[in-house]
Amino acid sequence: MLERIEKLQIISLGLLVALGLIVSTKMVSSAISNNVISVTGSAYEIVKSDSGTLNFNIVVKRTTKQEAYSAMQDQIKTVEKYLAGKKIKDIGIKTINGYYTYKREPKTGAYTDIPEAYNLYQPMEISSENVELIKEISNDITGLINQGVDINVSAPSYDYSKLPQLKVTLLEKASEDAKNRAVSMLKPTRNTVGKIQSVRMGVYQITPVNSTDVSDMGINDTSSIDKKVTAVANVSFTIK
């Protein structure tokens, strides 16, 4: 009885191994067509942004237009003094926007043509190659509220200026990775990789270092100082 059970176990094990070989062979052959193998390779590199930009705006609301402009000039001076203390020289003051708000009827709530206040909205922008400084300012510039500045701050933006050159290098590495994958896939078939038939560049994924996000349209992250730049290449090789 035990002998029969052992034989059945051996036969079952043999069937499982054979099935595994069949599945493995099908996985390899699925990428092979007309003596051509198509493989996707990838490569990535971690880079640190070399420039940063911060946008913010000052908001002023006063009874008259003259009072609003006067208050705005005082608040801009306060901001410029703060930035000078941070050694920021590149300060962009954009076009100012102004508009009236009007009083409402107490009973109906309908707007009247009587001005209630004049509002000013002053966008500003700073930039620096010192990305850590931009990060620092983005975190503490709102402290100017304690000095009477009504300020709204956007998230900082970080960029890497050598991205075009890096993309070329990564594409080359991704193509090499595709070749190595093709070699591994062809080992069970005892064939070898031949010449490149075609190369198609995939989209680049520029993400925070620890992110696993991908997109068919590509990702271009500007929120993080340290970035992971990933390139993908779809390569077809002849089979020898």
pLDDT tens-digit readout, 123-155: 999 999 999 999 999 999 999 999 999 999 999
SS3 letters across the chain: CHHHHHHHHHHHHHHHHHHHHHHHHHHHHCCEECCEEEEEEEEEEEEECCEEEEEEEEEEEECCHHHHHHHHHHHHHHHHHHHHHCCCCCEEECCCEEEEEEEECCCCCCEEEEEEEEEEEEEEEEEECCHHHHHHHHHHHHHHHHHCCCEEECCCEEECCCHHHHHHHHHHHHHHHHHHHHHHHHHHHCCCEEEEEEEEECCCEEEECCCCCCCCCCEECCCCCEEEEEEEEEEEEEEC
Contact present, 124 and 150 (Cβ < 8 Å)? no
Structure confidence at residue 31 (pLDDT): 58
Query: Can you tell me the mean pLDDT for 161-165?
Result: 95
Average pLDDT, the chain: 87
- Domain with residue 149: its CATH number is 3.30.70.2970
Instruction: Indicate if 36 and 74 belong to the same structural domain.
Output: no
State the residue range of the domain holding 208: 32-48+161-239
Q: Is the pLDDT of residue 84 over 60?
A: yes
Query: Can you tell me the mean pLDDT for 8-35?
Result: 44
Q: Is the pLDDT of residue 4 over 80?
A: no
Q: Is the pLDDT of residue 30 over 90?
A: no
**How far is the C-alpha of 187 from the C-alpha of 189, rounded, in Å?**
5
Query: Can you tell me the mean pLDDT for 167-191?
Result: 93
More confident residue, 161 or 189: 161
* Domain final residue pick, 157, 185, 216: 157
Structure confidence at residue 109 (pLDDT): 84
Q: Is residue 5 part of a domain?
A: no
Q: Is residue 9 part of a domain?
A: no
Report residue 72 as tokens: 């705005």
Structure confidence at residue 90 (pLDDT): 85
Highest-pLDDT range among 17-21, 28-32, 141-145: 141-145
Structure confidence at residue 73 (pLDDT): 97
**How far is the C-alpha of 111 from the C-alpha of 100, rounded, in Å?**
12
User: How many domains does one find in the chain?
Assistant: 2
pLDDT per position as a tens digit, 215-229: 999 999 999 999 999
Instruction: Indicate if 114 and 172 belong to the same structural domain.
Output: no
pTM, entire model: 0.78
- What is the phi/psi pair of residue 89, to 5°? -105, -30
**How far is the C-alpha of 10 from the C-alpha of 4, rounded, in Å?**
10
Query: Can you tell me the mean pLDDT for 158-182?
Result: 95
Instruction: Indicate if 201 and 214 belong to the same structural domain.
Output: yes
What percentage of residues in the chain have a pLDDT greater than 90? 73
